[in-house]
Amino acid sequence: MIKNEIGQIILRVGLGLIFFAHGLSKFQGGINNTVGFFDSIVSMHHNKKPSGNNSEGFSFRC
């Protein structure tokens, strides 16, 4: 039982450090870089031409 708990703690601390480092890089880079990234995703989505079935370009056949 103790080995499982130690393993869980190691995984949680490791994953927490990864999330912290990722969030810290976003915070230090400024919100403008993050907003610019999301704007680029949205602009790519709006530049697609609809295929006639729906705006995502998927075709569903029954």
Domain ranges of the chain: 2-45
CB atoms within 10 A of CB 26: 13
Model pTM score: 0.49
Residue 48 · residue 57 · CB < 8 Å: yes
* Coil, strand or helix at 4: helix
Segment 12-57, tens digit of pLDDT: 999 999 999 988 988 887 788 888 888 888 877 666 555 555 555 5
Is residue 7's pLDDT more than 90?
Answer: yes
Residue 54: what pLDDT?
Answer: 54
More confident of the two residues 1 and 45: 1
Residue 61: what pLDDT?
Answer: 60
